[in-house]
Amino acid sequence: MMQTKHNWTKEEILAIYNKPMMELLYDAATVHRANHNPNQVQVSTLLSIKTGGCPEDCGYCPQAARYHTDIEGNDLMSVSQVKAQALRAKSSGSSRVCMGAAWRNVKDGPEFDSVLEMVRTINKLDMEVCCTLGMITENQAMRLAEAGLYAYNHNLDTSEDYYKDVISTRAFKDRLDTIENVRKTNVTVCSGGIIGMGEAIEDRAGMLVALASLSPQPESTPINALVPVEGTPMEEIAPVSIWEMIRMVATTRIVLPNTQVRLSAGRTQMSQEGQAMCFFAGANSIFAGDKLLTTPNPDVHEDMKLFELLGLQPMKPFVKKDQPQSVEAQYSKYKDQAEKPKWTRPDHKIERNELAKAKAKL
């Protein structure tokens, strides 16, 4: 196998992104075939275990409490509700469940204990378990690993430069620190971002520089197209074209040759032909199920019809890495530390975020 390159420059990545389309597709498909089975696509199901009311100000997110969006908020789901949803996902062909919580960071206590129990429960269904719970400490990462977590999702979202125009309640460095905490365990890292937030192409390249420099590189990389939700600061941003999505997927595949590139938010806007070109360009994972966290996603039967049409097979769980063992709560080596971690809060002014917040108050 070829050695992974970690020191990509923005210029090198831009040169790839801007290649004539046919050359870009050929190069990406070549890297894809050298490292993956091009007929296998991993299928994940998202489950929003705690919805809305988030204290953060992420300019893209319908779950931030400070904006006025139409979503229905929910407290933490119960372990039995989660189990029932996971069984549904398994029967419709998913190998992974990704549980999302609208939290800034994880706090030790009964809610986190309950999430750990959800992780054990899904792992025992022989499915890969992923969580995306915001920022976590090393101890919390260890506890998730011990419960049997397979992956932790924590997106860089965009370049370090543009991050300051999107979020003011935490810093890019906090994201890197959480990823580093996950890396101290055997949990795999899922990290990617969003395109179509008004960023320059240089920012897309900048995000890939940061992701590629992680060592090891993330095992999965979601590429989201912004879903502009009414009430959020980004509600009026026009959707990215399918060609930009294909370029981003192809460039990600070349720069992160071993990662599972996941077509994430924004698939409802993409035609079947557009998605097929993304698969050709190296995407080999999707989020399936009629809902992402709060916004719609294509019908799972339509997805399965598309797979059949293209001769794609859903990947089985634990193909890339063995199933972790779940340690029961009473045998845990780790203590609830009731830590008060020092995550950053730059709180600089982002005009469009301020405007959306002011509008919500009216």
In the complex, least distance from residue 267 CB atom to ligand DTB, rounded to whole angstroms: 10
Q: Does 206 bind ligand DTB (CB under 6 A)?
A: no
Options 17-25, 223-231, 300-308, 319-327: segment touching ligand SAM (CB under 6 A): 223-231
Q: Does 166 bind ligand SF4 (CB under 6 A)?
A: no
Candidate residues 224, 232, 284, 353; the one interacting with ligand DTB per rule CB under 6 A: 224
Q: Does 350 bind ligand SF4 (CB under 6 A)?
A: no
d(CA 282, CA 102) in angstroms, rounded, equals 30
Options 30-38, 52-60, 84-92, 337-345: segment touching ligand SF4 (CB under 6 A): 52-60
294 binds, among ligand SF4, ligand SAM, ligand DTB, none (CB under 5 to 8 A by kind): ligand DTB
Candidate residues 52, 59, 100, 282; the one interacting with ligand DTB per rule CB under 6 A: 100
Closest CA to 329 of 122, 101, 148, 134: 148
Amino acid making up residue 185: T
Options 12-20, 89-97, 116-124, 221-229: segment touching ligand DTB (CB under 6 A): 221-229
Is the CB of 227 or the CB of 250 nearer to ligand SAM? 227
In the complex, least distance from residue 63 CB atom to ligand SAM, rounded to whole angstroms: 6
Q: Is the dihedral of CA 210, 291, 89, 52 positive or negative?
A: positive
Phi, psi of 282 (to 5 degrees): 120, 0
Contact status, residue 79 vs residue 122, Cβ threshold 8 Å = no
Phi, psi of 138 (to 5 degrees): -60, -40
Indicate the Cα dihedral angle 166, 169, 174, 178, nearest 10°. -100
d(CA 100, CA 246) in angstroms, rounded, equals 26
- Give the SS3 label for residue 305: helix
Per DSSP, the residues of 126-157 read: T-EEEEE-SB--HHHHHHHHHHT--EEE---B
**Residues identified as active-site:** 54, 58, 61, 98, 130, 190, 262
d(CA 308, CA 303) in angstroms, rounded, equals 9
Q: Does 54 bind ligand SF4 (CB under 6 A)?
A: yes
Q: Is the dihedral of CA 90, 93, 96, 101 positive or negative?
A: negative
Q: Does 99 bind ligand DTB (CB under 6 A)?
A: no
Q: Does 49 bind ligand SAM (CB under 6 A)?
A: no
Q: Does 42 bind ligand DTB (CB under 6 A)?
A: no
Is the CB of 19 or the CB of 353 nearer to ligand DTB? 353
| Total chain residues near ligand SAM (CB under 6 A) | 18
d(CA 280, CA 32) in angstroms, rounded, equals 8
In the complex, least distance from residue 130 CB atom to ligand DTB, rounded to whole angstroms: 8
- DSSP code for 211: H
d(CA 122, CA 202) in angstroms, rounded, equals 39
Residues 88-117 binding ligand SF4 (CB under 6 A) are 102, 104
Q: Which residues bind ligand DTB (CB under 6 A)?
A: 46, 62, 98, 100, 132, 153, 155, 192, 222, 224, 227, 264-265, 292-295
List residues binding ligand SAM (CB under 6 A): 60-61, 63, 100, 102-103, 132, 134, 154-155, 157, 194, 224, 226-227, 229, 265, 293
